Amino acid sequence: MGRMSEELPAYAELVLEVAERIPPGRVMTYGDVAEWLGEGGPRQVGRVMALYGGAVPWWRVVRADGVPLPGSERRALEHYRAEGTPLRGTASGETRLAMRRARWDGRGEGAGGDEGHI
- Residue 62 belongs to some domain of the structure: yes
- Residue 45 belongs to some domain of the structure: yes
CATH number for the domain harbouring residue 90? 1.10.10.10
Q: What is the pLDDT of residues 14-61, one digit of tens each?
A: 999 999 999 999 999 999 999 999 999 999 999 999 999 999 999 999
Query: Maximum distance among all alpha carbons in the chain?
Result: 46
- Tell me 9's DSSP state: -
- Residue 110 belongs to some domain of the structure: no
Interacting residues of 110 by C-beta distance below 8 A, sequence separation 6+: 23
- Residue 109 belongs to some domain of the structure: no
* The residue type at 58: W
- CA-to-CA distance for 71 and 63, rounded, in angstroms? 14
- Residue 113 belongs to some domain of the structure: no
- Give the structural domain span for 93: 5-104
Give the phi and the psi of residue 75 in degrees, each rounded to 5: -65, -40
* Predicted structure pTM score: 0.83
Give residue 70's pLDDT.
Answer: 83
What mean pLDDT value characterizes the chain?
Answer: 87
pLDDT above 50 (res 115): no
- Residue 115 belongs to some domain of the structure: no
**Alpha-helical runs (H) found in 40-83:** 42-52, 73-83
Structural domain count of the chain: 1
- Residue 114 belongs to some domain of the structure: no
- Residue 117 belongs to some domain of the structure: no
- CA-to-CA distance for 57 and 79, rounded, in angstroms? 9
